[in-house]
Amino acid sequence: MNPSEDLIQQCLVEGQVKFYEYTRFKDIELIGEGGYGKVYRAIFKDNEITVALKSFKGNHVSIKEIVNELKLHCRVDMHSNIIRLHGATKNEDKQNLSFTHYMFVLEYADSGTLRSYLRNNFKYLSWYDKINFALQIASAVKCLHVEGIIHRDLHSNNILVHQKNIKLTDFGLSRRLDEATNSNQKFGGVIAYIDPQGFEGSRRGNKIFKFNKKSDIYSIGILMWEISSGYPPFKDDSEPYQLASLIVDIKNGLRENHLYRLLAA
């Protein structure tokens, strides 16, 4: 075992995360790939339950970040709108090894990301459904905040849908509030959802801007706009925004306009 894997091992030994032998899974099939690694659907042989297995690419993510995500996830693993962390497994396939072969074993969400769900189902959603989504997102984020965690990366590709219910996921960028407010933040996340104060560079007046609970609330506001309009924010196919100019425009007060979108539809 390499020394950094000790950190994960420590989480397992301390009983914070349950370990499952890889051989207890079958029908493992790739279903998605994010910036940090691959996601597989698999069946847990003991009870035939479908789960998601999340692996991590080498160089893109440090073991420290994986352990951070594991520990934060454990602290909020009791909310029905937060994807459940069942445990961890270790892929012994030596051909397929990258940085680490540990994988998270997660609850499987059967309807994909909120972004794709809205794209495919928006016309079938009632206002009751949309308000329900908004309430469930707010409730999941409230749970994080009560535990002193800020998510920092809330957007419609980090929110999954299962049986018409919200499942918040991806704590890769999340931090405990005390850590987040005591450290210089690199900002992550998807531009349109990021608290515009984060674009002020590292300084705002004489103060260094720290992402905080209100930053998550801003992202929820953007998500509510998206749920009510059915469009991803600032996505205009006829005139796509350049990233740099979008940042400047948002800094200068640009916001999405719900009425305009409805009329344009």
* Catalytic site positions: 153
Per CB under 6 A, the segment of 13-21, 155-163, 228-236, 247-255 that binds ligand ATP is 155-163
Q: Check binding of 34 to ligand ATP (CB under 6 A).
A: yes
Secondary structure (H, E, C), 163-231: CCEEEECCCCCCEEHHHHHHCCCCCCCCHHHCCHHHHCCCEECCEECCCCHHHHHHHHHHHHHHHHHCC
Q: Check binding of 87 to ligand ATP (CB under 6 A).
A: no
- The CA-atom distances, in angstroms, between 137 and each of 51, 131, 220 are 22, 10, 8
Judged by CB under 6 A, the chain residues 244 through 263 that form the site for ligand ATP are none
Q: Check binding of 114 to ligand ATP (CB under 6 A).
A: no
CB atoms within 10 A of CB 187: 16
CB of 34 to ligand ATP, least distance (A): 2
Kindly tell me which residue out of 100, 113, 136, 156 binds ligand ATP, with binding defined by CB under 6 A. Answer: 113
The one-letter amino acid code at 257 reads N
- Identify the DSSP state of 90: E
Kindly tell me which residue out of 170, 195, 216, 226 binds ligand ATP, with binding defined by CB under 6 A. Answer: 170
Per CB under 6 A, the segment of 102-110, 177-185, 223-231, 247-255 that binds ligand ATP is 102-110
CB of 54 or CB of 151, closer to ligand ATP: 54
- The CA-atom distances, in angstroms, between 175 and each of 36, 70, 183 are 17, 12, 10
Task: Give the pairing of strands 203-204 and 159-162.
Answer: unpaired
Q: Check binding of 112 to ligand ATP (CB under 6 A).
A: yes
Distance CA 148, CA 176 (A): 6
Judged by CB under 6 A, the chain residues 183 through 242 that form the site for ligand ATP are none
**Could you list the residues that contact ligand ATP (CB under 6 A)?**
31-37, 39, 52, 54, 83, 106-109, 112-113, 157-158, 160, 169-170, 172
